[in-house]
């Protein structure tokens, strides 16, 4: 039985969260009946898990092809998209094929976009191997590639058939990548669940030790919040926008610094602190809220401020291009307390200059 379910009517799908899914031969990936499996992964994840996953599908009588891309946000591009498309056409892959995204958020986003576009849509599933992808990007059907003028500006909403989360993959995750994933975890507490935020504050040591029980609860709680929000607002017309806390500032940091120089989670962490400080400036939160957010982010070795070489005008230039901007007005997700947030569009450039400079 699945751990969770994303309720989207006929496009609903399960999320399995278990330690050892990839090595458990009794787990049969029932949601993947396709005769042809195309595993898309990267050159860091491949040595760790590719043989395990490909042999599992081969033992089930499936034809298996593999596409291995370079690791990193710098390769989440239209060039990589075209490279994968060319490989699928050369195989050739038919409409009955299924793409398996094996890796972190970059692989998941790119693979999902390929699946959405190849022959106007083929099945895909997510096997996320990083904390950030397990708690956030693998769930919800946002797929995209980056452009020099904006992050995730070219993509599609396209839901997977299933998400398979093996907690054991977090044991091989570098500390910096694990910390980056914690930014998205903390986000859920700030925007939706104050009790979960408090639980995170109380369990910092266990999380850093990668205690299996703590990680299982943490990942499941994040996925449940994400699944509930996506079920209410799949295409981000209202409540789903709250999931972008910190992202408007964070995306500006990533675009200005060059994709991959700041990890996505690092940029979002700094963005969440900036957003909370902006909320304080507006009188929406109190100083204690700002201090709690900053302290929890610091506890996981994440930045609490943006790069020193970025001015307010630099942020504003990028934020006006952000896909959340509407009618040339910047929109921001700001907390109203620990556990609640809102979308606002009345932040002036003067307020941003005062805050950022």
**Catalytic position from the list 236, 256, 266, 277:** 236
Residue 239 pLDDT greater than 60, yes or no: yes
d(Cα 224, Cα 163) in Å, to the nearest integer? 13
pLDDT-based confidence at residue 152 (cuts at 50, 70, 90): very high
- Residues 65-81 have a mean pLDDT of 97
**Catalytic position from the list 73, 152, 244, 256:** 244
DSSP annotation string for 219-234: HHHHHHHHHHHHHH-T
Question: What are the sequence ranges of the domains in the chain?
Answer: 4-171, 175-356
Catalytic, 161? Answer: no
Q: Where are the alpha helices (DSSP H) in the chain?
A: 51-59, 78-90, 105-117, 131-132, 175-191, 194-202, 204-208, 212-232, 247-257, 264-282, 287-299, 312-319, 349-356
- Residues 145-150 have a mean pLDDT of 90
**Catalytic position from the list 10, 120, 309, 327:** 120
- Residues 55-62 have a mean pLDDT of 94
Mean pLDDT of the chain: 95
**Catalytic position from the list 36, 62, 264, 292:** 264
Domain 4-171: top CATH class: alpha beta
pTM: 0.94
Catalytic, 308? Answer: no
**Catalytic position from the list 73, 184, 234, 256:** 184
**Catalytic position from the list 76, 161, 187, 247:** 247
User: 163-202: per-residue pLDDT in tens?
Assistant: 999 999 999 999 999 999 999 999 999 999 999 999 999 9
- Residues 143-147 have a mean pLDDT of 96
**Catalytic position from the list 251, 292, 318, 331:** 251
- The DSSP output letter for 262 is B
Catalytic, 11? Answer: no
Catalytic, 292? Answer: no
Catalytic, 244? Answer: yes
Catalytic, 226? Answer: yes
Catalytic, 142? Answer: yes
**Catalytic position from the list 226, 292, 318, 331:** 226
pLDDT-based confidence at residue 26 (cuts at 50, 70, 90): confident
The number of C-alpha atoms within 13 Å of 111 and in the hemisphere containing its C-beta is 33
The CATH superfamily of 175-356 is: Dehydroquinate synthase-like - alpha domain (1.20.1090.10)
pLDDT-based confidence at residue 274 (cuts at 50, 70, 90): very high
Catalytic, 82? Answer: no
pLDDT of residue 320: 87
Catalytic, 240? Answer: yes
Distance of CA 174 to the CA centre of its chain: 17
How many other CB atoms are found less than 10 A from the CB of residue 315?
A: 24
**Catalytic position from the list 36, 56, 75, 142:** 142
Residue 1 pLDDT greater than 70, yes or no: no
- Weakest-pLDDT range from 32-41, 274-283, 297-306, 324-333: 324-333
- Residues 25-38 have a mean pLDDT of 92
pLDDT-based confidence at residue 326 (cuts at 50, 70, 90): low
Catalytic, 247? Answer: yes
């Amino acid at each position: 039985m699945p751990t969770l379910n994303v309720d989207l009517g006929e496009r609903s799908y399960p999320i399995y969260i278990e330690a050892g899914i990839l090595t458990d031969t009794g787990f049969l990936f029932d949601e993947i009946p396709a005769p042809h499996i195309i595993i898309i992964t990267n050159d860091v994840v491949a040595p760790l898990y590719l043989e395990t996953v490909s042999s599992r599908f081969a033992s089930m009588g499936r034809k298996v092809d593999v596409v291995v891309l370079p690791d990193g946000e710098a390769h989440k591009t239209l060039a990589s998209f075209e490279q994968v498309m060319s490989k699928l056409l050369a195989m050739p892959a038919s409409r009955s094929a299924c793409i398996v995204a094996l890796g972190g958020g970059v692989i998941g986003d790119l693979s999902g976009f390929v699946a959405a576009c190849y022959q106007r849509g083929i099945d895909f599933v997510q096997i996320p191997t990083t904390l950030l992808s397990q708690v956030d990007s693998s769930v919800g059907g946002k797929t995209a590639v980056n452009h020099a003028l904006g992050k995730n500006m070219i993509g599609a909403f396209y839901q997977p058939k299933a998400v398979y989360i093996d907690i054991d993959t977090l044991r091989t995750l570098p500390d910096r990548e694990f910390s980056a994933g914690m930014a998205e975890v903390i986000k859920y507490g700030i925007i939706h669940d104050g009790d979960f935020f408090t639980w995170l504050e109380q369990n910092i040591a266990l999380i850093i030790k990668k205690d299996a029980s703590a990680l299982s609860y943490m990942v499941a709680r994040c996925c449940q919040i994400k699944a509930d929000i996506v079920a209410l607002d799949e295409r981000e017309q209202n409540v789903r926008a709250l999931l972008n806390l910190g992202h408007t500032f964070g995306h500006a940091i990533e675009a200005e610094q060059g994709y991959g120089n700041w990890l996505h989670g690092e940029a979002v962490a700094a963005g969440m602190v900036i957003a909370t400080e902006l909320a304080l400036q507006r009188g929406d939160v109190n100083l204690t809220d700002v201090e709690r957010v900053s302290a929890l982010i610091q506890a996981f070795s994440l930045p609490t401020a943006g790069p020193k070489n970025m001015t307010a005008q630099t942020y504003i230039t990028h934020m006006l291009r952000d896909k959340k901007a509407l009618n040339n007005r910047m929109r921001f997700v700001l907390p109203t307390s620990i556990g609640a947030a809102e979308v606002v569009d009345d932040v002036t450039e003067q307020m941003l200059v005062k805050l950022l400079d």
